[in-house]
Amino acid sequence: MELARGVRERLSATWGVGVTGVAGPEPQDGRSVGTVFVGIVGPRDGALHESVSELNLAGDRNTIRSETVEQAVALLGGLVLDRAGSSANFSDVRFEQTNELAEHRRGCAD
């Protein structure tokens, strides 16, 4: 949660999102590969809302990292829409991978 709070504070942002976990290839600190935590901080009902979600993802390192981003955005989107009173559904959010993004991901994996 500290990461999400820090992002929000340092960037003077409305919302802060932080992720941590084990993308692999080996378990770490007793946590299985694919165990990821997403922390989100932002306004809700006149107060500061904080939530942590635990994800259990499958796949190789790059797949877990990509799915982490997609899930974090979907979780944030759900909270933002809920705050706005929208009935839209962010749980089905999927991202198209452009060649530029694929190249960036390959560079991050090195």
- C-alpha span between 68 and 74 (Å, rounded): 10
- What's the CATH number for 2-109? 3.90.950.20
Backbone angles phi, psi at 54, to 5 degrees: -100, 130
Residue 32 in this model has a pLDDT that exceeds 80: yes
Residue with tokens 């306004």: 43
Give residue 86's pLDDT: 58
Confidence bin at 46 (pLDDT 50/70/90): confident
Q: How confident is the model at residue 94 (pLDDT cuts 50, 70, 90)?
A: very low
Sheet holding 16-21, edge to edge: 16-21, 35-44, 47-56
Confidence of residue 97 (pLDDT cuts 50, 70, 90): very low
CA 40 to chain centre: 8
Q: Is the pLDDT of residue 6 over 50?
A: yes
Whole-model pTM: value is 0.75
Measured CA to CA, the distance from residue 84 to residue 27 in angstroms comes to 39
Give residue 45's pLDDT.
Answer: 81
